[in-house]
Amino acid sequence: MTDSLAALRGAARLLLVAFAGMLIGSCGSGAVSSSSASSTVPVVITPSAATLYSDVPSTFIVTGGNGNYVITSSDQTVLPVSSAPLTATNSFTVVPSTVGADTTVTLNARDTGTAPSGSAQVVIRPRTISNVVTVTPSASQSAACGASICAGGDAEVKVVLTQAGVPLVGRLVRFDVLSGDFRIIASAPGLPEALALTSTAITDGSGTARIRIRVLADATAQTSLLQVTDVSSGSTTTVSLSIAPSSNAPLSALPSTISFIGRDSNTCATGFSAEVIVFGGRPPYTITSPGTFIVTPSILTSSGQRFTVTPTGLCTEGSAIAIVDDNGASATVTASNVPGAITTTSPPLVVSPDTVTLDSCNSIATVIVAGGFAPYFASSSTQAIRTSVAPRVGSGGGSTVSIQRRAGSDVSVRPQTVAISDGRDVKAVEVNLVGTAFGPCP
């Protein structure tokens, strides 16, 4: 009897200990059971197979397992991955290194538990855009800009797409302005110029895609950025463009020589004036005023504007009037005022017509000049326009100014201006370019 009671009491004690252990397990310190720390759902990398290009970022997604992942690469040199576990995200981004030929790499992903690991097969291919992008400024721009693109000027951008040395033909290439004062010329040759921040081109038989760009006329000295993208692969490269603060034409003034003659042998000229027109360079222009002449205004704000030279009556065989543009370039007008008798008078300088049109690279426009004081001089606002002056025969005097395109020139701004002067007055003729007259001439 006593032995039975002792056995019953021992069994009761065991039951109480077991029950207490169950309570502690359910209300414990937060320890996770092995079943909750692990998952039998396999780890999966998406995509499981991919083709990547050197230097182009790509993102993969990891799912399954317990949500904490470790990613490894079978070739850390070709496809480097971070050794840090993924704990706050289930995605990771890789940037393949530069390769010379297709290279296969395996990405592996496992969780921190016991779930089956996953993998992805990745093929790394060479970049499709060559490292050399050629930027060639227009041949008509000022030599003062050197290898840079002049403000207001244009340039050709050429890029070559290759795969393992083989040209890629018929590929769509996108060009994007990332920064700077330039735009892409999106219009076809011969049409009015349209500018855009992005444009596309197709590679030719050599794998080459070409566009033209236009630098804004008020651009300052800067380095701008253009991005080139092979649309099919996403491979990109960034090109830096050097811009110089100079116009597409050299600084010049017409007439460059002014002669005033007094009314008699003891008097130098006074009471009348001459105009000078300023072209090219980078406005604004600052005009100096020698003591023997009054020059107004002293500042011109744009190409094609004029200033007036008025003698004070003081005699001089040659005083220099300097024109300095915002880029530091300079031009000089030499003005003289000497005694002498003016024995004849002349009607005002006139030109007809004052607007002409060139519709091809071979067309010639003719302007009649009369009045003023012969001989006459003509000058263009751009080196791409050629002028010549010849006397008229049997038509009451005057001269003929011929205006035509210069071979090999590329006119990037229209309309153009031709200035005609007799040394005292200056008249402007507007030259409109239409059809095949716009763009380079053969």
Distance of CA 197 to the CA centre of its chain: 9
Is the Cα torsion angle 336, 341, 347, 353 positive or negative in sign?
Answer: negative
Q: What is the mean pLDDT of residues 16-20?
A: 43
Average pLDDT rounded to a whole number, residues 340-359? 80
Same domain (yes/no): 280, 311: yes
Whether residue 295 lies inside any domain: the answer is yes
Whether 25 is in a domain gets the answer no
Looking at residues 103-116, what average pLDDT do you find? 93
% of the chain surpassing 70 pLDDT: 87
| pLDDT on residue 396 | 58
Q: Which helix (H) or strand (E) holds 207?
A: none
Give the domain extent around 134: 129-244
Rounded CA gap, 183 and 198, in Å? Answer: 8
Mark whether 118 and 50 lie in a shared domain. yes
Beta-sheet pairing, 208-215 with 182-185: antiparallel
Give the mean pLDDT of 298-312: 88
Residue 15, in any domain of the structure: no
Residue 12 placed within a domain: no
CATH code: domain of residue 173: 2.60.40.10
Give the angle 349-320-387 at the CA atoms, nearest 5°. 40
Residue 102 in any domain: the answer is yes
Query: What value does the mean pLDDT of the chain take?
Result: 83
Which residue would you say has higher pLDDT here, 32 or 131? Answer: 131
**Each residue of 4-13: b (16+ CB within 10 Å) or e?**
eeeeeeeeee
What is the C-alpha to C-alpha distance for residues 213 and 235, in angstroms, rounded to an integer?
22
Verify that 315 and 374 share a domain, yes or no: no
Count structural domains, the chain.
4
Record the pTM: 0.45
- Pairwise CA distance, residues 308 & 138, whole Å: 34
Report how far residue 66's alpha carbon sits from residue 199's, in angstroms, rounded to the nearest whole number: 47
Q: What is the CATH number of the domain that holds 88?
A: 2.60.40.1080
pLDDT digit string, tens, across residues 228-258: 999 988 888 899 999 987 655 678 898 999 9
